[in-house]
A and B are shown apart, each in its own frame.
Chain A
């Protein structure tokens, strides 16, 4: 199956700091997606990327679709306590089949 490497596994940051996480794949994807999961909930879509090189923002979140189509990053600026959660990248290549990274657990200290 597809292999997605997501890093870092976890982060402990101070409120107000910027955050960066990324995903790399051994295979090309047509779409990259970034999700956030709160405890006891399903993943919620944050940003979707459809073209190589695409840079998309959603409030304090910015994500990019790598030129090689094998990687993507997510940046969060000026973190706040409600940013706490697990962030997942996902790649899609066929028939809406998604492959997920193992997640980045974000902890924000007030």
Chain B
């Protein structure tokens, strides 16, 4: 059972570089979302998607783009990385059937220098 798979696990970027964090789920979940986790804080919602072709902003969307071309994949793009985006990023998916239980990937630890 793969569940939610995130790649890469670790990444170091220079300020201004771009990159895409990958997230894939094999549970046929409609809902997918991206969170960031900073020291001493809970997870904060960046962007989410309620189905293929539909995305929306969460609490902290600035500096990030998303797209949802398939049910399985929900990549997160950093167009021009900044040190403030140093964080641990988690992707989550949940079912559309009303039981709001989010399943998380193992996270991507991103450092922007």
Q: In the complex, A24→B43 CA distance in Å?
A: 16
Q: Contact at B100–A31, with CB atoms within 8 Å?
A: yes
Q: Contact at A45–B101, with CB atoms within 8 Å?
A: yes
One of A36-44, A54-62, A63-71, A73-81 contacting the partner: A36-44
Cβ proximity bits A22-50 to B, threshold 8 Å, 1 near / 0 not: 00000000110101000011111100101
Whether, in the assembled complex, A72 has its beta carbon less than 8 Å from a beta carbon of chain B, the answer is no
Which range contains the number of B residues in contact with the other chain? 20 to 34
Q: In the complex, A100→B35 CA distance in Å?
A: 10
Q: Contact at A102–B42, with CB atoms within 8 Å?
A: yes
Q: In the complex, A4→B4 CA distance in Å?
A: 26
Whether, in the assembled complex, B25 has its beta carbon less than 8 Å from a beta carbon of chain A, the answer is no
Rounded to whole Å, the gap between the CB of A107 and the closest CB of chain B is 16
Residues of A within 8 A of B101 (CB): 33, 45, 48
> Quick one: closest B residue to A98, CB to CB?
B102
Q: In the complex, A43→B41 CA distance in Å?
A: 13
Whether, in the assembled complex, B40 has its beta carbon less than 8 Å from a beta carbon of chain A, the answer is yes
Q: In the complex, A90→B102 CA distance in Å?
A: 10
Total A-B residue pairs with C-beta atoms closer than 8 Å?
73
Q: Contact at A101–B42, with CB atoms within 8 Å?
A: yes
Q: In the complex, A23→B29 CA distance in Å?
A: 28
Q: Contact at B33–A97, with CB atoms within 8 Å?
A: yes
- Which parts of B12-62 form the interface with A (CB within 8 Å)? 31, 33, 35, 40-45, 48, 50, 56, 58-59
Of the candidates A4, A33, A35, A96, the one whose C-beta lies within 8 Å of that of B31 is A96
> Quick one: closest B residue to A1, CB to CB?
B59
Whether, in the assembled complex, B70 has its beta carbon less than 8 Å from a beta carbon of chain A, the answer is no
> Quick one: closest A residue to B31, CB to CB?
A96
Q: Contact at B43–A92, with CB atoms within 8 Å?
A: no
Ordered nearest first, which 8 A-B pairs have the shortest CB separation?
A100-B42, A42-B104, A96-B31, A100-B43, A92-B100, A31-B100, A1-B59, A102-B42
